[in-house]
Amino acid sequence: MQSQGYRPPDQALAYRVQTGTGQRAGGKTQTAQNGRAAAKTSGGGRKPKKRKSCGWRLFKWLLVLLLLAGAAGGLYVWQTQMDVRPYTSVFLDNVSVDGIDLAGMTWEEGSAAVRRQIDDKINSWYVRLKSSAGEYKDITAQTLGISRDPAQALEDAWAVGHDTSETDRKTIFELKAEIDAAKQTTHAFTSAEQSGDTSAIDSILSRLEKAAYVAPQDAVFLGFNPDNTSQPFSFQSEIVGKKLDVESLSGQILSMVETFTTGEVLVQPEDVQPSVTVADLQKNYSLSFRAITPIDTHSTEARNENIAVAFSKINGWKLADGKTLSFN
């Protein structure tokens, strides 16, 4: 029986179970693999990833650059504001009014300093008209009604690096440029010219001119004195006149008024020379001839009288060139 191919039941069962198990396991594995392969082949299941376009990458780079540029611009604006901020409420460097350095002062401080200096100068200013004898007359700011107005000069000084108009405002960058330029350039402003009535100067000088004036006088020939053998001719001496140069004095005073300079002006009359002097007359008079008649104790009174009368007729006679004198 065994030789005809009989197998024990247990072994035959074991073989079928093992074979069946192997088929089921093998079948599942092969099916999964076949499914994945089919999915890859037919396009079923998950979609494949797409490649990113160059345009999208360029957009991202541009966006990054714009963000960086915006950050840099914002930083620049912030730094400019920080540079301008310390000067927003004070005068800039190298800015002055009437010689006062206003750098670092507020508007109130600078305005007060300039006006205080003007008041001090006005109250202490004078021009003293002094004579050589020590007499003097003072011309003061009160005499002329002088005043000075620094308002425009202060506004011009403040306009350097600041906004001065609500309608025409400067940008932060314009202010920064003016601030930087002010550090290299001097901005000097002067108060408006003082107002006043200078006619008072003319009145004062007119009075001084009249008081100082002395008219010149020419020398005059008085006569001939025969008894004076050394100086027979007599003259009235010339007189040198005196006069103030009012035009020159007025120029000096007005110059001191314009520059607001305190000081003295010497009021010294000038000499006015006469047209004819004694020296001029002496050139025209000379003794050409002298005649002497002795008179002694034997001469009578009548003779002496006759001699005196005769000489009186010719004493001081002017004899022109080429003329002759005949006396009988």
Question: Does 328 score more than 80 pLDDT?
Answer: no
Check residue 98 and give its pLDDT.
Answer: 92
pLDDT tens digit sequence for 135-148: 889 999 999 988 88
Q: What is the mean pLDDT of residues 300-306?
A: 86
Look up residue 30 and give its amino acid: Q
Check residue 309 and give its pLDDT.
Answer: 87
Check residue 235 and give its pLDDT.
Answer: 93
Q: How much is the pTM? A: 0.50
pLDDT tens digit sequence for 205-254: 999 999 999 999 999 999 888 778 788 889 999 999 999 999 999 999 99
Residue found under tokens 């400019």:
80
Q: What is the mean pLDDT of residues 65-77?
A: 66
Check residue 8 and give its pLDDT.
Answer: 43
Q: For the ranges 15-19, 158-162, 287-291, 301-305, which has the lowest average pLDDT?
A: 15-19
Look up residue 161 and give its amino acid: G
Check residue 179 and give its pLDDT.
Answer: 77
Cα dihedral 234/236/238/243 (nearest 10)? 170
Structure tokens at 267: 């009021």
DSSP string, 24-77: HHHHHHHHHHHHHHHHHHHT-SSPPPPPPPHHHHHHHHHHHHHHHHHHHHHHHH
pLDDT tens digit sequence for 74-131: 666 666 677 667 777 889 888 999 999 999 899 999 999 999 999 998 899 999 999 8
Q: What is the mean pLDDT of residues 146-174?
A: 81
Q: Which residues contact 76 (CB under 8 A, 6 or more apart)?
A: none
Question: Does 289 score more than 50 pLDDT?
Answer: yes
Question: Does 261 score more than 60 pLDDT?
Answer: yes
Q: Which of 123-127, 259-263, 294-298 has the highest mean pLDDT?
A: 123-127
| DSSP classification of residue 194 | E
Which of these, 253, 245, 135, lies nearest to 201 by C-alpha position?
253
Check residue 78 and give its pLDDT.
Answer: 63
DSSP string, 73-129: HHHHHHHHHHHHGGGTTSBPTTEEETTEE-BT--HHHHHHHHHHHHHHHHHH-EEEE
316: left (phi over 0), alpha (psi -120 to 50) or beta: left
Which of these, 74, 97, 104, lies nearest to 152 by C-alpha position?
97
